[in-house]
Amino acid sequence: MPDHHDQKVRDIMMRAHDGQMRKDGVTPYWKHPVKVRRILRSLGYKGAILDAALLHDVIEDGDPSVDWATQILDAAGWEVLELVMWVTNTHWDVKPKRHIRQEWECRRLSQAPVNAKILKLADRLANLRDWDDLDAGFRSLYLNETKQLLLVTMHGDHRIHHEISKIVSRRQVLR
């Protein structure tokens, strides 16, 4: 049975992703952050990084009229909010081209604390494990972006880093 704190974190995640679906159009989106948390928990992580795993897409993908940052802060504290903010893509009023946004996010992430890098790696690993849900035309771009991400997260968790590297190598051979 989850404790009161854990339930507040889960409630925020569920409200933020209410009605959202994964790219396959069938899987509820909230299952993705649960998978990210499961990856981290299986590797022995505890505490703030597990809460941040559940909340990592809330600010980026939740209703923009809601102050998710304050809700995360009130429910889980500064450490969790900081991790979420590090892995949240920068908001752009006018979006530059994808390759510019990707370069910016990698530069920013290179300055992130280790736990933020670990969280980002677990997020990427969960997405790569759902490979079949990615649009075939998007897969090549995603692999290239993943290689960039691996360069700036080398000081994250070596186990996740290694698994992602193996997946990228295997997927490139299959192309």
Of the residues 18, 24, 61, 135, only one is catalytic, namely 61
Q: Is 61 a catalytic residue?
A: yes
CB 139 within 8 A of CB 131: yes
Least confident of 18-27, 34-43, 165-174: 165-174
The backbone torsions φ and ψ at residue 133, rounded to the nearest 5 degrees and listed phi first, read -80, -15
Distance CA 32, CA 36 (A): 6
What domains can you pick out in the chain, each with its CATH number? Answer: 4-174 (1.10.3210.10)
- Give the residue with greater pLDDT, 40 vs 137: 40
Distance CA 68, CA 46 (A): 23
- Give the residue with greater pLDDT, 155 vs 15: 15
Per the structure block, which two tokens stand in for 89?
Answer: 């893509």
Question: What confidence tens digit (pLDDT) does each residue in 115-164 have?
Answer: 999 999 999 999 999 887 677 778 888 899 999 999 999 989 999 999 99
Please give the share of the chain, as a percent, with pLDDT higher than 70.
97
CB 68 within 8 A of CB 12: yes
Provide Rg for the chain, Cα atoms: 16
Of the residues 6, 60, 79, 133, only one is catalytic, namely 60
Q: Is 82 a catalytic residue?
A: no
Question: What confidence tens digit (pLDDT) does each residue in 72-88 have?
Answer: 999 999 999 999 999 99
Residue 50 — pLDDT band, cuts 50, 70, 90? very high
Distance CA 129, CA 144 (A): 16
Residue 24 — pLDDT band, cuts 50, 70, 90? confident
